[in-house]
Chains A and B, each alone.
Chain A
């Protein structure tokens, strides 16, 4: 383990211990927040009892579908937009101010288009995640060194071969940055939509627990969301680091 990871672990553990202490001594009241140890034990209890299994499965199916759709469609659209510089020039201000519009206010529209349930939530999450993938694809294609394309021409590769054997692997580390963001936004989009609008999923379960003043379950579920995000992020970062290490010049 590197020195940084040790310090990071200490910081995180120290923070948890601090919150634990504040909760135990009553500085943070039980009505505000439950202690981290109680969150964890309550989480284990509900996981063992299977209380929220349906909601957890519902959320994860949504997240996976949304992330895959956003990555595939975002990459495809990115390639098309990259090949049309004038379209790109016109689109760019829209792309970079896109995140200011809260996508889920379009939920009623999606209800009509996709019905209640998975469809609408996935649609909102895709809408949120796809732009990050488009932007990453554009900048990834921009950053392919010109000399690699020249090399492809000297090797007399066809256009399709150049795209598959040179451009795609050269852009991959940047594309993976887009995948990371798309997954993060899919998470945010799914949980937020469920929280605000849906009748199922982890986001809904948190909102429900909040409305019932059920702090024990609410914080257990928040911990679950936090752990899931950390785990998925850690995995993606690991792959990312391996890709980046090769690319350093």
Chain B
């Protein structure tokens, strides 16, 4: 599965160190689009090989337009690959599989429902019985610090609180794979750090496999167990960085020297890619 990868050795090395079973797998995945203006086809992504083991926290950083979000669409079943295979728990992904939760960058809270009903929405539609809905929603409200806002409407909340609602809404469905597409992109820096802590709590709590897409290097360095760096279009993995953080880490790791080293290594790789986009004259 590592034929086309420049850093295939690194991947195999890491996989070998992890005895846990592979949870999500992409094999030789590509995605081609047609350019809206010229009508010419172009390759947005791949060929990509990637394996996430069960329960790992993996982040993807890359320059804008590198196909990060396209990759997430393929994993969540919101989009189909042009070639290659996407497997979740050993089964090919065809439509959104059961057990996958997605948190988007945009505000996806339903403005016509109060916080409690927002969180309960998915469970009620899935036909979960009322007492169980109540139990899980109460738990999620407490877990995300939303208990005092259960009756508030999204319009009355700050951006960070609204994103908590969306995370809580994903949490109650007890997903085994959580995909996050720049979930804190619209938030200010301090709120981002705190939300990062919430995300780590959620990860430890659920034991789910987490894939986070972000353009913030510090966010990736602080939260993940492993970070994948993507190149400009067509998006390929050019580096994988193991952070080596303990499972009970939190945002305070930013003050350690190791955090600086990881961020520096990510930037070293990304700087070249970003320069290519900006004209590459340097």
The answer to whether A and B assemble together is yes
Cβ of B100 under 8 Å from chain A? yes
Check if A145 sits within 8 Å of B106, measured CB to CB: yes
Cβ of B104 under 8 Å from chain A? yes
Check if B107 sits within 8 Å of A154, measured CB to CB: no
Cβ of A33 under 8 Å from chain B? no
Complex: A247 Cα to B110 Cα, angstroms: 9
Cβ of B125 under 8 Å from chain A? yes
Residues of chain A contacted by B154 (CB below 8 angstroms): 246, 249
Interface of B, secondary structure class, is loop
Residue of A whose beta carbon sits closest to that of B179: A154
> What 0/1 readout, one digit per residue, does chain B (246-265) give for beta carbons within 8 Å of chain A?
00000000000000000000
Interface of A, secondary structure class, is helix
Check if A151 sits within 8 Å of B104, measured CB to CB: yes
- Of residues 44 to 85 in A, which have CB atoms within 8 Å of B's CB atoms? none
Chain A interface, number of residues (Cβ within 8 angstroms): 22
Chain B interface, number of residues (Cβ within 8 angstroms): 24
Cβ of B96 under 8 Å from chain A? yes
Check if B121 sits within 8 Å of A155, measured CB to CB: yes
B interface vs A, CB < 8 Å? Answer: 76, 78, 95-96, 98, 100-102, 104, 106-108, 110-113, 121-122, 125-126, 153-155, 173
Check if B155 sits within 8 Å of A155, measured CB to CB: no
Check if A147 sits within 8 Å of B78, measured CB to CB: no
Residues of chain A contacted by B113 (CB below 8 angstroms): 169
Which one, A147, A153, A161, A166, contacts B96 given CB within 8 A?
A153
Shortest distance in angstroms between B10's beta carbon and chain A's nearest beta carbon?
32
Check if A170 sits within 8 Å of B76, measured CB to CB: no
Check if A147 sits within 8 Å of B104, measured CB to CB: yes
Shortest distance in angstroms between A182's beta carbon and chain B's nearest beta carbon?
21
